Amino acid sequence: MTRPWETLASVDTRDGKLELLRRSERDFLITIRGRVLMTSAAHRSEDELAKLGCEGLRTQKRARVLLSGLGMGYTLRAALSELAGDAFVWVSELNPVVVDWCRGPLGELTQGAARDRRVELVVEDVAARVAQVALDSKQPRFHAIVLDMYEGPAGRPKPSDPLYGERAVLAYRAALVPEGKLAVWCEQASPGFERALHHAGFKYELVRTGHGGRVHYVYVAKAPSEWRLRVDAQRAAERAAQGPRPAGPHRMRSGQSKGGAGESGGAARSGGGKRGGASKRPGRGRA
């Protein structure tokens, strides 16, 4: 006989009621507004996200990784498994109760990942952390940024979207070392996010995780090299020195598209990255 779910904790957040439920010693759910965010029975996409984001960093001396959010700690555990003993993982988690859960009742699921000596857990908005690092040249950059939010990019995020808009993607680039990696969990392809990655100089691909059942995706994006950044900065300086170009009939009016190329999927088709055969899926909760 299947045991009923027991509510271990419940807290009101700006996104609704966040709850931790347990059915057995190793069977947990985290829900928000009754919607399942994650389950201890299925965390393949979280594992793949961390592996794709941290791949190759085991040999990197004192690798630095920024990870958000914490969830049940599976993404963090998978990331730590890809890193050497001298690595450092900064975890930004918006809800303090999630930190308590991962240090408490959920801790055994991940062999105490939240208490690993390589981990610094901070209750904060990851967008603020990225902006702080991006704007302060004295702060060390990250070799990888791994975003495991309960809602990934979808459709066409506004340029001002704090996580997936154009300004946010530029901040990720500035917070990463040259050729650093950005890995982002999502439920479907996002032409707007791809466009932002392309404009920021990232080379990216959309990787499908899982086969059969629930399918998710991971954007894996590589930041420009140091040489590429210097060239872009030089070109920007040259354009600024030349001043505004005079208006003329050869210039397009504001908002006019060029060559019929619409916004949807333009970045992917232009060589900025590849989709990996991903198809769009309606948004739904994580399980």
The pLDDT assigned to 116 comes to 98
**Sequence-ordered list of residues with C-beta below 8 angstroms from that of 231, at least 6 positions apart, any chain:** none
State both tokens at 158.
């506004």
User: What per-residue string of b and e applies to 179-202 under the rule 16 or more CB within 10 Å gives b?
Assistant: ebbbbbbbbbbbbbbbbbbbebbb
| Maximum Cα interatomic distance, the chain, rounded to a whole number of Å | 77
Report yes or no: 125 and 29 within 8 Å, Cβ to Cβ.
Answer: no
The pLDDT assigned to 123 comes to 97
Q: How far apart are CA 137 and CA 117, in angstroms?
A: 26
The pLDDT assigned to 228 comes to 73
**pTM, 2 dp:** 0.81
Alpha carbon separation from 221 to 21, 71, 172, 204 (Å, rounded): 35, 22, 10, 4
The pLDDT assigned to 265 comes to 36
Average pLDDT along the chain, 287 residues, taken 10 residues at a time: 89 93 95 92 94 97 97 97 98 96 96 98 97 96 96 91 96 97 96 96 93 82 85 64 54 37 36 42 38
